[in-house]
Amino acid sequence: MVLVREKIGKHDAELRTARHKRDFATLEKGWLALGREVQKSIDLGVPALLGRTMRQWMAETFDESASHIYRQLQSYRALKSVPQAKLEQISESSAHQLTRLPEKIRKDPELIEKAVKQTSTEFRNTVHGIREKKLGFKPEAWRTFAVRGPVTWYEQMEAAQNKVAEILKLDLTNNEKRATNLIAVWEAISVLVNTTPKERLLVEIEGEDCNS
């Protein structure tokens, strides 16, 4: 049996995009429903129909909240093995914490019940404990790095990280590993900059040898 992919036209793509904007602006849908709807639009090829990449489409649709919506999308993708009825009862924050665990652990019924019943802070501590005791990860403070800027600047930054990812043989298209791989990419960039003498960096940036 061959599954036929549902097809839509540009007008339908525009309508779906407008609906996403409305649902997000009015907060009519929770993280799960919104993530599911955005994924369906991607599966239908909405970004391509509008002449955009997925990330360009999300940036234009959700503006400064694009990274937030992308996290919802990642959570939806990663938690498909969790029963939908249970997933609907889990907060966005706790759902994100679940994605930090391997699939075999994250679909454990007892853990899912904790995600439903515990507060976001309590469940975050639960996940931290599992990562430390079962997976060997030591807890570390986290900060979010996000800057909104011109498209040309964004494209240059994206090209830079893709180039480094290629050198390191890291796949940035794998959504489950993207966050981890991005950290590795920017860690490599920061190490390169921080271990390069300032004089050498000045030559590279200014395009001339200041000592000549």
Chain segment 83-92, per-residue pLDDT in tens:
889 999 998 8
118: left (phi over 0), alpha (psi -120 to 50) or beta: beta
Residues 150, 43: Cα–Cα separation, whole Å = 28
Assessment of whether the complete model's pTM goes beyond 0.75: no
Question: Which residue in the block uniquely carries the two structure tokens 């807890």?
Answer: 139
The answer to whether 131 touches 100, Cβ cutoff 8 Å, is: yes
CA nearest to 69, candidates 20, 22, 14, 111: 20
Confidence of residue 46 (pLDDT cuts 50, 70, 90): very high
Residues contacting 69, CB < 8 A, separation 6+: 24, 34, 35, 38, 58, 61, 62
Chain segment 1-40, per-residue pLDDT in tens:
334 457 889 999 999 999 998 888 776 668 888 889 999 9
Chain segment 118-175, per-residue pLDDT in tens:
988 899 889 989 988 888 877 667 788 888 889 899 899 999 999 988 888 888 887 7
